[in-house]
Every structure is written in structure tokens, then in C-alpha cells.
Amino acid sequence: MSDSKKFVLGIFDDEDVLLKAVGKIRGAGVKIHEVYSPFPVHGLDEELGYKRSRLPIAAFMFGALGTTLALVMQIWMLGVDWPMIIGGKNHVALPDFVPVTFELTVLLAAFGMVGTFLVSSDLKPWKDPKLLDIRITDDKHVMAIDLGTNRAVEVASINALLKDSGAVEVNNKDVDE
């Protein structure tokens, strides 16, 4: 069964107008599906009520994993599996293990976090992004309002609200699910 979602798209060409519009439209009780932008707009996530990303936590966890793996590897290899006296130092000469531990911490933190980001944002080479408007990656900000989740509000008033808050165009778009 092919469902189709109906969207109203408000097209904005100024990030400051867009920011105010988001506050105004959400204030009027309209749920915004998502806003698409060609560049990061600071404060937009707060206006949309998005929670702060938990990716830093992921980075910390992967980093801690890197530290642990690096220390376990070095201590096991040089301290347990094949102990050798190198330069008259202890088998487990911890200060010497600092550089490799640091590098592996950074490596795992960075790769772990970026990997988590790609998975959580569903970014992959074979994905078709199905843009609602081709100008999103050029110079227009597009506010998408899903009519399905806004049945209580009339379409005409959503259109008027978008126009009032500074949208340069208001379009309708059906998307096949």
C-alpha cells in the first residue's frame, strides 16, 4: 500500500527570518516536521526544541574504550606475554605507554563518534535523500509542515502563518512513502 504524506513547505531565504518564524509557528501550535538548510543555522535546533545531541557521550565512551584497549594491549604484550628488559626499565614502564595510549584514545573516540553520527543520522552512500526542494543544498531554507500531524489546524491558516512570518514561497508537496 502506498501512503502519501502531504507537506506544506515554507521557503525562506534569510536565516534570521527563519529563526523568528520557527518560534512564531511553534507558538501557534503547529508542529514542524523538519527544517532543511544549506548551512548550519545557529540556534535553530533550540528553536525547534531539539534536545542537545548525546554524541559527546558516545565520543567519551569510545575514547575510554580506546584508553583501556591500548593499556591492556601494551601491558599484556610487554609485561605478560613476552617480558623484556628494554633500557633497564621495568617490563611495564607506564610513562612510555602514554603516547600510544593517547593516540588510540583519540583514534577510537573520533571514529566511534563519527560512526555513531552516520548511523544515527542515517547517512550512507546508497541513500536517496528525497529532497523536498532542490534548492535546499543551494541557498534556501525549507520548513516542512506535515499535514498528517496537524489535522487540528486548517491548511489555509498554516499557509497564512508561513506567509506572515516571512516565507518567500509557500508550496504543497506530496511525498510517497
Does 5 interact with another protein (rule: CB under 8 A)? no
Residue from 61, 65, 69, 110 touching another protein (CB under 8 A): that is: 110
For the chain, give the DSSP string.
---EEEEEEEEES-HHHHHHHHHHHHHTTPPP-EEE-SS--TTHHHHTTPPPPSHHHHHHHHHHHHHHHHHHHHHIIIIIIS----TT--SS-HHHHHHHHHHHHHHHHHHHHHHHHHHHTT--TT-----SSGGGGTT-EEEEEEGGG-TTS-HHHHHHHHHHTT-SEEEEEEEE-
Residue from 1, 2, 27, 52 touching another protein (CB under 8 A): that is: 52
Nearer to another protein, 123 or 155 (CB): 123
Does 82 interact with another protein (rule: CB under 8 A)? yes
Tell me the closest approach of the beta carbon of residue 154 to another protein, in angstroms: 25
Residue from 1, 126, 152, 156 touching another protein (CB under 8 A): that is: 126
Q: Which residues of the chain form contacts with another protein (CB under 8 A)?
A: 13-16, 34-41, 44-45, 48, 50, 52-53, 55-56, 59, 63, 73-74, 77-78, 81-82, 86-87, 89, 93, 96-97, 99-100, 102-104, 106-107, 109-111, 113-114, 117-118, 120-131, 134, 136-139
